[in-house]
């Protein structure tokens, strides 16, 4: 049978102030009817640019240098905008990484879904509504009638992504592009979305291009896998064999970067003395005096202790209270209960003095929102140095500690890669020489190879400075590599606390077992 999608010798540049940036170089790929092709590679390898080229959604500075992109034999590069608008959503659809940015915040979810069928299938509003409700049921929305009338901010991340998937499949397209569809979701929600896609793939006879940096997910979902590096396809094999017997060293490098629980990266023990402890800590969102019925309990009566030099892991699905707890410990959110630091009792954020705030630092998930875009790296690092009694002369040492060249001090955040920005955020935290560093999902937005290097950096800094970590993540496999103990949060409560070695046993909470089951099995190698 002829290919649904055929890409032949396609090349793409971006025009920049520094000259043409080569993004894709002589790419050739084909997807057969009913087949899913996985596309893997590091950030900046050209994966999303290729998806944008297929959808004909390239930025204005894109310069196509040759080649063809054919959908059902029709060259998409030769079509005008009216013809392309008729194809997008009808014959080709896309599921993006972040459902929050894929949906219109001003329209009810049901309206966003039904208007696709009104536009492309010519359905009247009533029949389109009926079909939309049926689609919401097929993507396993538990209360379609309620979700139909809700706005995006009123539903969970998993529900948003289910609506996006329903919208993509509404017109039974010939091809669906899946661009990191589970990366923005926690491990349980991501596993459910992947199971849903596997079922829908059969029901809709779906052909797809599955883009991801998670090799474990790709190997579970795709029939074949193509590996892209610096804009070139370097290897293409069936999914069951490509990571067991890769032809290219780069593919082996990607496979080796996947966290494997059996490959422990931390072998030393934590200290015996308590560094930070909490007893009955609770966090509430809202103003109980003004709106008592709108108060949300984010964290409820949580108690545990972190020892000196310990890597204390914390995991749980989105909304479980992990980040709220982290922000309370950093003095950002008010709390109830007791926090102890080196034996000193703290009852409210106002009692977290300069000594505490110097000793307890936090690195956030998204460096794009935690680094001032108007400040150069030197300014970003100089502020905490001055605040805690050091001088900007320390900046080269800080950059060296996080394996960045001193010349990066002159750059703005937008001139850095995602991994480099996160290294700057880590350097800023270590400017205070902290005794405890709270890492709140700091590797979530990074591909596996960059994540691996950031973890190696954190472990090296721990060896040098003796720092303890509260490491919050959705990746249980990663925690089993680095953490001494793992705390499991569920709906604001601490439901389990285990030594890492005990996670494979039977004496764990049922929710912990669900997390273990949902964690992607590492690629065999």
In a domain, 16, yes or no: yes
Q: Which of 213, 235, 256 is at the close of a domain?
A: 256
Q: Is the dihedral of CA 212, 218, 224, 228 positive or negative?
A: positive
| Bridge partners (DSSP) listed for residue 102 | none
**Residue of 369 and 166 predicted with greater confidence:** 166
Collapsed DSSP state (helix, strand, coil) of residue 101: helix
Last residue of a domain, one of 214, 234, 256: 256
DSSP element (H, E) containing 487: strand 485-490
d(CA 250, CA 464): 31
Bridge partners, 222 (sequence order): none
Averaged over 57-61, what is the pLDDT? 93
Reduce the DSSP state of residue 134 to 3 states and report it: helix
Whether 55 is covered by a domain: the verdict is yes
Return the CA Rg of the chain: 24
> What is the C-alpha to C-alpha distance for residues 323 and 461, in angstroms, rounded to an integer?
23
Is 20 a member of any domain?
Answer: yes
Say how far apart CA 137 and CA 249 lie, in whole Å: 44
Give the per-residue pLDDT at 163.
95
Rounded to the nearest 5°, which phi and psi values hold at 172? 50, 60
Query: What's the average model confidence in pLDDT over 25-53?
Result: 93
Question: Bigger pLDDT: 256 or 413?
Answer: 413
469, β-bridge pairs? 311, 437
Q: How far apart are CA 354 and CA 358, in angstroms?
A: 6
CA separation, residue 206 to residues 47, 158, 236, 396, 456 (Å): 20, 21, 21, 52, 40
Assess whether pLDDT exceeds 90 at residue 66.
yes
Q: Are residue 193 and residue 325 in the same domain, yes or no?
A: no
Q: Which domain holds residue 99?
A: 5-256
Which residues make beta-bridge pairs with 304?
Answer: 278
Which pLDDT score is estimated for 423? 94
By mean pLDDT, which of 109-123, 132-146, 171-185, 472-486 is the weakest?
Answer: 171-185
CB 130 within 8 A of CB 117: no
Same domain, 70 and 184: yes
pLDDT in tens, 272-296: 999 999 999 999 887 665 555 666 7
Which whole-number Å values give the CA distances from 307 to 101, 303, 340, 520, in the listed order? Answer: 40, 14, 12, 30
**Helix, strand, coil distribution of the chain in percent, nearest 5:** 40, 25, 35
| Stretch among 125-139, 210-224, 283-297 having the lowest mean pLDDT | 283-297
Mean pLDDT, all residues of the chain: 91
The backbone torsions φ and ψ at residue 68, rounded to the nearest 5 degrees and listed phi first, read -130, 150
Q: Inform me whether the pLDDT recorded for 371 exceeds 70.
A: yes
Residues 194 and 69 in one domain: yes
Check pLDDT > 90 for residue 221.
no
The Cβ of residue 312 has, within 10 Å, a number of other Cβ atoms equal to: 25
Mean pLDDT of 395-407: 94
Paired strand residues for 71: 5, 74
> Is the domain of 363 the same as that of 229?
no
Looking at the domain assignment, is residue 65 inside a domain? yes
Q: What is the rounded distance in angstroms from the CA atom of residue 405 to the CA atom of residue 427?
A: 12
Question: Among the three residues 232, 256, 280, which one is the final residue of a domain in this structure?
Answer: 256
Asked whether residue 325 falls in the same domain as residue 240, the answer is no
pLDDT value at position 521?
A: 67
Q: Is residue 461 part of a domain?
A: yes
Half-sphere CA count of 232, side-chain side, radius 13 A:
5
SS3 assignment for 160-201: HHHHHHHHHHCCCCCEEEEECCCCCCCHHHHHHHHHHHHHHH
Rounded CA-CA distance 75/146 in Å is 42
- How many Å apart are CA 296 and CA 301, to the nearest integer? 14
DSSP codes of every residue in 364-431: -S-HHHHS-TTS-HHHHHHHHHHHTT--GGGHHHHHHHTT--GGGGG--GGGS-HHHHHHHHHHHHHT
Q: Does residue 218 contact residue 182 with C-beta atoms inside 8 Å?
A: no
Q: Based on the fold, state whether residues 203 and 323 are members of the same structural domain.
A: no
SS3 501: helix
Helix ranges restricted to H, 151-299: 157-169, 187-203, 215-221, 239-242, 249-256
Distance CA 259, CA 480 (A): 9
Same domain, 232 and 328: no
524, pLDDT greater than 70: no
Contact (Cβ atoms closer than 8 angstroms) between residue 513 and residue 496:
no
Q: What is the pLDDT of residue 290?
A: 58
Neighbouring CB atoms inside 10 A of 85's CB total 14
CA–CA gap between residue 182 and residue 95 (Å, rounded)? 10
* Residue 316 and residue 208 share a domain: no
Average pLDDT over residues 320-341: 94
Q: Is residue 469 part of a domain?
A: yes
User: For residue 339, is pLDDT > 90?
Assistant: yes
Q: Are residue 102 and residue 205 in the same domain, yes or no?
A: yes
Assess whether 71 and 184 both reside in one domain. Answer: yes
State the average pLDDT over residues 96-119.
Answer: 92
347 within domain boundaries = no
Task: Taking residues 175-202, report their average pLDDT.
Answer: 88
When mean pLDDT is compared across 86-95, 266-275, 292-301, 467-476, the lowest value belongs to 292-301
Task: Name which of 138-142, 174-178, 460-464 the model is least confident about.
Answer: 138-142
Residue 287's pLDDT is what?
65
- Which residues have C-beta within 8 Å of that of residue 264, sequence separation ≥ 6? 481, 482
Query: How much is the pTM?
Result: 0.84
Which residues does 408 contact at the CB level (< 8 Å), separation at least 6?
377, 399, 416, 420, 424
| Residue 387 pLDDT exceeds 60 | yes
Q: Which token pair is 497?
A: 């606390």
**Which residue from 208, 180, 190 is spatially nearest to 101, judged by alpha carbons?**
180
150/59 same-domain check: yes
Cβ atoms of 318 and 298 closer than 8 Å: no
For 520, the 3-state DSSP assignment is coil
CA distance 237 to 245: 9
Is residue 355 helix, strand or coil? Answer: helix
Q: Could you tell me the CATH number of the domain that includes residue 91?
A: 3.40.50.300
Q: What is the pLDDT of residue 403?
A: 92
Answer whether residue 294 is part of any domain. Answer: no
- How many domains does the chain fold into? 2
**Whether residue 18 is found in the same domain as residue 90:** yes
Say whether 319 sits in a helix, a strand or coil: coil
Q: What percent of the chain has pLDDT over 70?
A: 97
């Amino acid at each position: 049978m002829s290919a649904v999608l055929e890409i032949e010798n396609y090349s793409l540049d971006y025009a920049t102030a520094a000259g043409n940036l080569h993004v894709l170089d002589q790419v050739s790929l084909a997807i057969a009817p009913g087949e899913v092709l996985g596309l893997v590679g590091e950030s900046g390898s050209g994966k999303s640019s290729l998806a944008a080229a297929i959808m004909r959604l390239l930025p204005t500075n894109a310069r196509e240098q040759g080649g063809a992109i054919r959908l059902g034999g029709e060259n998409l590069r030769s079509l005008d905008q009216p013809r392309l608008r008729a194809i997008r959503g009808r014959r080709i659809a896309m599921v993006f990484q972040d459902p929050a940015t894929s949906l219109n915040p001003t329209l009810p979810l049901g309206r966003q879904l039904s208007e696709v069928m009104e536009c492309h299938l010519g359905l009247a509003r009533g029949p389109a509504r009926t079909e939309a409700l049926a689609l919401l049921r097929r993507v396993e929305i538990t209360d379609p009638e309620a979700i139909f009338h809700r706005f995006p901010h009123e539903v969970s991340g998993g529900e948003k992504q289910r609506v996006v998937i329903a919208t993509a499949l509404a017109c039974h397209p010939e091809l669906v592009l899946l661009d990191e569809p589970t990366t923005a979701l926690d491990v349980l929600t991501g596993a459910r979305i992947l199971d849903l896609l596997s079922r829908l793939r059969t029901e809709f006879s779906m052909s797809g291009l599955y883009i991801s940096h998670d090799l474990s997910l790709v190997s579970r979902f795709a029939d074949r896998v193509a590996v892209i590096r610096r804009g070139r396809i370097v290897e293409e094999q069936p999914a069951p064999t490509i990571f067991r017997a890769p032809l290219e060293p780069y593919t082996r490098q990607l496979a080796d970067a996947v966290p494997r629980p059996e490959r422990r990266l931390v072998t030393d023990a934590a200290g015996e003395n308590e560094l930070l402890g909490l007893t009955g800590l609770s966090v509430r969102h809202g103003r109980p005096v003004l709106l008592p019925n709108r108060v949300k309990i984010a964290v409820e009566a949580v108690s545990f202790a972190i020892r000196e030099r310990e890597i204390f892991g914390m995991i749980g699905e989105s909304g479980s209270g992990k980040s709220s707890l982290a922000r309370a410990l950093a003095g950002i959110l008010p709390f109830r209960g007791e926090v102890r630091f080196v034996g000193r009792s703290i009852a409210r954020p106002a009692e977290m003095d300069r000594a505490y705030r110097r000793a307890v630092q936090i690195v956030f998930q998204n460096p794009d929102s935690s680094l001032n875009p108007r400040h150069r790296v030197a300014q970003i690092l100089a502020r905490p140095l001055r605040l805690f009694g050091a001088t900007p002369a320390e900046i080269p040492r800080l950059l060296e500690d996080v394996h960045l060249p001193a010349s990066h001090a002159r750059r703005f955040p937008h001139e850095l890669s995602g991994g480099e920005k996160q290294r700057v955020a880590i350097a800023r935290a270590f400017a205070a020489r902290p005794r405890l560093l709270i890492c709140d999902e700091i590797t979530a937005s990074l591909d596996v190879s960059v994540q691996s290097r950031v973890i190696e950096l954190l472990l090296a800094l721990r060896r040098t400075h003796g720092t303890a970590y509260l490491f919050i993540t959705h990746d249980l496999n990663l925690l089993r590599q680095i953490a001494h103990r793992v705390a499991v949060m569920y709906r604001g409560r601490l439901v389990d606390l285990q030594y890492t070695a005990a996670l494979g046993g039977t004496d764990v909470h049922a929710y912990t077992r669900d997390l273990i089951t949902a964690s992607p099995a590492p690629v065999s190698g």
